[in-house]
Amino acid sequence: MTGEDILLGIALTVALATGSQILANKLRVPALIVLLPVGFAAGALTDVIHPARLVGPDFPALVSLSVAVILYDAGLGLNLRNLTGRTRSVVVRLLIIGILVTFFAVAGIGPALFGIPLRVAAMIGVILVVSGPTVVGPLLEYVRPTDKLRRILIWEGTLTDPIGGILGAIVFHAVATSHRIDIGRGYQIGQFLLSMGVGLAGGAVATVVLWLALHKLRLGETLGTLAQLATVILVSALCDVVRDDTGLIAAIVTGLAITNLPGMDMPARRPFLETLVQMIIGLLFISISSAVTPASVVPVLVPSLILIAVLVLLIRPFVAYAAARGSDLTVGEWGFIGWMAPRGIVAASTASAFSATLVEKGLPGASKILPITFLVIVGTVLLYALSAAPVARKLEVVRSARTRPLLVGGAPWVIGLGQALKTAGLDVLMWAGLDEERERITSAGIELAHGEMLATATNPRARLEGVTAVFLLTDDDDFNALASVVVKDNVQGPVYRVGPPRDSHGVVAPYTGGDILFGRALVRQRLAARYERGARFHVQPGSTPVPPDHDILFVVRADGRLAPVTATQTVTPLPGDTAVVMGSV
């Protein structure tokens, strides 16, 4: 390729990756649904984005390092405190049973479906055992299942990726060197354990390095993010040099350790690292799908559809049922787990890397590995994306649309507001720092959040589960302003703060953006003063006229959604709604 072709190929790949993800976001569908067909079409229409021509034989190495960064970021989101008891046992059984059943089933039916040797079918089977957080996560955000289901599926999807990568490398070497598959020998089990050991050792080294860099040196956001990227890439590369695909284990172990070590002073890594991960995902899928030609897809199209049906209708429900036995999962919960197993980036990357080498070695049927994997990825993602939401509603595992607010503050007027929202039918949660305020909250009959909740909410890697709206109502305006910025990315819903006084000389509060509760007129001091003079919060039907001396603060819609009045938004109660107003007794 000429220099102009390389520049055009890079620019086109970046543009397609970015444009596809923007389009997917606007359509509210997983990005893979757009990325894969766009890459496939671009590969059929032009040669400039084909990875074999644009990058050359080094493309698999770049894919491996890119996936390591993705898995490190996924590992940062795995909090061990959320994986306890029976939830942990379900995840472990999903991993073990799912990997074994999927591998042997695909390897068993592959030769009959595709007319390929058993060793090639085994290679496809081990590639398809993985799922992945890059596709499961967006699907779950769209479907909104219960927190328990979300934890189980995210943990399963994240942990199957490195394990599947290791197994894929072992099966690949067995097939490539001996031209037969014999993973039952103790030798292959030893190879797996050795690979796991290398990955765990690499993860331990990376964890120590990042602990020194982030905890001792206290690097800021920019340097801290650079240190994380450099460490993960370096250690993953060294592990891959020692043992193929062990870098994936090292990457996810590092992410898990960093996010769960006590006392880690992690920088606010989200903005840059998440942007980088999104770009990597887009570039990989565009590049890999462009390598799949229409001529390679047509011969395996019908058998691949049969394989997808077997995976979706037989294998996954059986795995979910076997994993859920003896657990506290309801029928609806294990049924939804049985309807959620899309394939993602690791399946695509391993198929791209292994198939090219096996084709070069002249293994019969190896050229079918990539198009079969491509079709399974497209088919499973498309099927689950279109059906997951109605299935979740049918099984009654969707989180309720009813808002569960967290009120932060313990002043008397805040407690009175919490009681009014509770009277309006909401499940109210409150948090306060002082013991006397916490006692007043408990005496008022409102549920008190545990002491670590706000610390969890301000952790840049944490997720505040069970809360769908946060209202910051403390007497410290600067705290409210800062917390509104930190907490907003960790709550499945909006974050609001009460307004500071107009003449406030606070360090942060007057200058921080964000939606202000109740507008600039009803600021914190005025609310507290009116409450002290005898004004109270009242709950009335939405169809009842609001008295002239009363102010509408909230409207609880008929379906339980809470709509607050803000500086930029007025709310009108409708028949069937409930209004929360403030006025004289």
Q: How confident is the model at residue 268 (pLDDT cuts 50, 70, 90)?
A: very low
For residues 440-456, give the mean pLDDT: 75
Q: To 10 degrees, what angle do helices 85-114 and 316-324 make?
A: 160
Which residue do the tokens 């649309």 mark?
401
Per the CB < 8 A criterion, the answer to whether 496 and 515 are in contact is: yes
Predicted confidence (pLDDT) per residue in 407-418, tens digit: 998 899 999 999
Q: Extract the tokens encoding 379.
A: 């088919």
User: Which of 178-187, 265-274, 380-389 is least confident?
Assistant: 178-187
pTM, two decimals, is 0.74
Predicted confidence (pLDDT) per residue in 152-181, tens digit: 998 888 888 777 777 777 787 777 665 555
Instruction: Say yes or no to pLDDT of 136 above 90.
Output: no
For residues 548-569, give the mean pLDDT: 87
pLDDT at site 269 = 43
Q: How confident is the model at residue 460 (pLDDT cuts 50, 70, 90)?
A: very low
Per the CB < 8 A criterion, the answer to whether 388 and 339 are in contact is: yes
Instruction: Say yes or no to pLDDT of 222 above 60.
Output: yes
CA distance 296 to 574: 58
pLDDT at site 560 = 86
Q: Extract the tokens encoding 162.
A: 């490195």
Instruction: Say yes or no to pLDDT of 513 above 60.
Output: no
Per the CB < 8 A criterion, the answer to whether 157 and 136 are in contact is: yes
Instruction: For residue 226, give the nearest of 257, 263, 264, 272 by alpha carbon.
Output: 272
CA distance 524 to 544: 27
Which residue do the tokens 């305020």 mark?
437
For residues 104-117, give the mean pLDDT: 93
Sign of the CA dihedral running 379, 383, 385, 388:
negative
Predicted confidence (pLDDT) per residue in 342-364, tens digit: 988 778 888 887 887 788 888 88
CA distance 278 to 74: 12
User: Which of 95-104, 148-157, 282-291, 499-508 is least confident?
Assistant: 499-508
Backbone angles phi, psi at 471, to 5 degrees: -125, 115
Backbone angles phi, psi at 343, to 5 degrees: -95, 150
Instruction: Say yes or no to pLDDT of 577 above 70.
Output: yes
pLDDT at site 299 = 92
pLDDT at site 93 = 92
Q: CB-based contacts of 298: which residues, under 8 Å, 6+ apart?
A: none
pLDDT at site 218 = 75
At residue 72's C-alpha, the angle toward residues 467 and 347, to 5°, is: 100
- DSSP letter for each residue of 124-136: HHHHTT---HHHH
Per the CB < 8 A criterion, the answer to whether 139 and 341 are in contact is: no
Tell me the pLDDT of the chain averaged across its residues.
Answer: 83
Instruction: Say yes or no to pLDDT of 101 above 90.
Output: yes
First to last CA, the chain: 80
For residues 51-67, give the mean pLDDT: 81
